[in-house]
Chain A
Amino acid sequence: MRRVVLASYEHEGLARLVAGLAQNGDVEIIGVDTAAAALDAVQRKAVHLVVVGEELADTDPVDCVNRLIRLNPMINCAMVSALAAEDFHEATEGLGVLMQLPPNPSGADAAVLMSKVEALSALLDADTVQGART
């Protein structure tokens, strides 16, 4: 089972992504609207992925990812962003963002995203790095 936190002030735009995630096997989705709630969620349960929307109720998305990886660098983050790829790279360099998602991401985006999560999980050694694997 994979557990995904969706952190966004506006969840309607993530509806197709959520539907796509649900089609990718056993996925539990936890919806929150603030960075603070996302941080709380990843401390309560093992989380395999946090998807950060374009807007949060308490801070900006890059700050949210920054706080998440400082709390637990093993957490994979994806971000919804309309930035050009080069600008996105510039804004998130060093944060190890798994994937930039377009606004209103689709079910196909969800499939690509989960395939990246699975590929990385296979590469990482859970015995040496305390990660969010179940």
Chain B
Amino acid sequence: MARVRIAIPSEGEGGLDGMRSGHFGHCDVFTFVDLEDGIIKEVSTIPNVDHTQGGCMVPVSLLARHKVNALVVGGIGMRPLMGFRQVGITVFHEDQRAAIRPVVEDLIAGKLMVIEDNQVCGGGNR
């Protein structure tokens, strides 16, 4: 049985019918969608951890500790992207839709692309 945990940076209370956060590191909560053989089995949320400038590895550690396999972001910096790669979390890119559910459905359907180095925010893209 293939089990996968997807994390979605979310606004407010999150949840499958919630809205995504545009800034993954400063989202209110992470929505977790647990899949078994591609079927949604459970949805849960955890609060993000407060961190200051330069603390972008804190959410990396948080999601690794919660055994996340895949993350969907609208944007991300090079340092946290490298961090997610280091801990084995695959980062997917989707910057068009704010609603969580259709993005999760597209990820399950294999329609989202893994983020490339040239899609990161700011100075790491060089």
User: Which residues of chain A have a CB within 8 Å of any CB of chain B?
Assistant: 62-63, 66, 69-70, 72-74, 76-77, 90-99, 116, 119-120, 123-125, 128-131
Contacts and interface: CB of A to CB of B under 8 A. Distances in A.
Interface stretch (B8-16, B30-38, B59-67, B91-99): B59-67
A92 B64 contact: no
Interface of B: 49, 51-58, 60-61, 64-65, 76-80, 82-83, 86-87, 120-126
Contact of B86 (A62, A73, A97): A73
Given A95-B122, A129-B57, A129-B60, 12 more contacts: A70-B78, A91-B123, A94-B77, A94-B78, A96-B54, A96-B80, A98-B55, A120-B58, A128-B65, A129-B64, A129-B86, A129-B87
Contact of B54 (A90, A116, A129): A116
Contact of A98 (B53, B60, B121, B125): B53
Question: Which residue, B61, B65, B126, has most C-beta atoms of chain A within 10 A?
Answer: B61
A123 B123 contact: no
A128 B61 contact: yes
Nearest to A96: B79
Nearest to A70: B82
B33 to A, nearest CB: 21
Contact of B52 (A63, A72, A90, A119): A119
A116 to B, nearest CB: 7
B123 A92 contact: yes
A94 B120 contact: yes
Nearest to A68: B79
8 contacts: A66-B124, A72-B86, A93-B124, A94-B79, A95-B123, A96-B55, A116-B54, A120-B51
